[in-house]
Amino acid sequence: MSGPAGPAPNPGGVRVLRFAPAKLNLTLAVVGRREDGFHDLHSVMVPLALSDAVAVTVAHAGTHGPAVVRGPVAVGGPPAPDTLRVSGLPLAATPDNLVLRAIAATRDAVRATWPGAPADPPPLAARLTKRIPVAAGLGGGSSDAAATVAAALEAWAAALPEEGLRDLAASLGSDVPFFLAGGAALVTGRGEFVERLPDLQGEAPAVLIVTPNLPVSTAAVFAAYARGARPTSAAVLVASERLVSEMRAGLPARALFARAEELAAGNDLLPAALEVAPSLATFRAALGLLLGRPVGQSGSGPTAWVLYPTLAAAHKAARFVHLGVVEGTLPPIGGGEPFVAVSTILTPGLHAMPADAHNGGRTRSKGR
């Protein structure tokens, strides 16, 4: 680094903590393919209490340890000194992790305007507690990136204009802008256009999350969709537009249950996910038979979700899922037990919950 030291960011090395919620696609319609190769979407997305946690502190010289991974190599300069430690669910702390990428991109965005300029924003030591399954259609990596951007800005006492923040988020991934909205939203374009929607009225719905131990590539699913693995009607778009209209008018949470079957079918990527991972079809059919309720898919999969009116009902269903695994009525796919969690759709009052309350009611006790 060069230039004057400038004002000290994050005095005393105070840890900045941000929660990174999972997301659920209540609807996901694919409305066309763009010239840049991406697909235009129309999706109603909501955040869940199930979350990762990202903590950052301004790093001191000599920070080291067995779990530390240094950031990517900067063009024309030495390796970036940002570091990352990961705990919780298995995830490699590699230089291309979205947490490290988000720190580097945020530094580039504020380099000339943060309070300590012309010195570069100092290195950050990041800690990621991973609770959201990877490659599951729940947006965990994108949420981690959004949380990291916010944490880095606070650690450096830096700020970005709204447009700059949107551009930064979109550069990190299609789902990242959604996580800056702070609640339910209509997401269009490839994900860069986000319209905040009113939160559901009344008690937050409970959600049973079942993720087979079978990571599914989003790119592979969209490629299968492009090859023709898709619905033959525009029913999902119609349902998505109707849900947006109802939420703008103030939709009671209980009304979701009246639409459970329509919402469960409201994902244009489901046929493509089943082509990429054919064993999902048997798994989803068995899960629906076991629970006796419509089963949706979040994003490109493989996560299945089921709505319940109360947490107690969702926890009871989770026990049925575990029993189905033990008895063999829920077929094992992907070489291990599924990840099972009970969560809720986040409302503003839940955003301030402490870290241990954001484990989403995970019920799995082994295998991951």
Other Cβ atoms within 10 Å of 129 Cβ, number: 20
Q: Of the residues 52, 82, 175, 199, which is catalytic? A: 175
Rg of the chain over CA atoms, in angstroms? 21
Q: Of the residues 23, 82, 199, 268, which is catalytic? A: 23
23 is catalytic: yes
Q: Residues 82, 71: contact at Cβ < 8 Å?
A: yes
Q: What are phi and psi of 273, to 5 degrees?
A: -60, -40
Give 358's DSSP letter. Answer: G
For residue 73, the Cα-to-chain-centroid distance in whole angstroms is 26
Identity of the residue numbered 312: A
d(CA 360, CA 219): 27
Other Cβ atoms within 10 Å of 12 Cβ, number: 7
Q: What are phi and psi of 79, to 5 degrees?
A: -60, 140
For residue 134, the Cα-to-chain-centroid distance in whole angstroms is 9
Torsion-angle region of residue 335: left (phi > 0), alpha (psi -120 to 50) or beta? left
CA-closest candidate to residue 178, choices 9, 344, 332, 21: 21
175 is catalytic: yes
Residues forming the active site: 23, 175
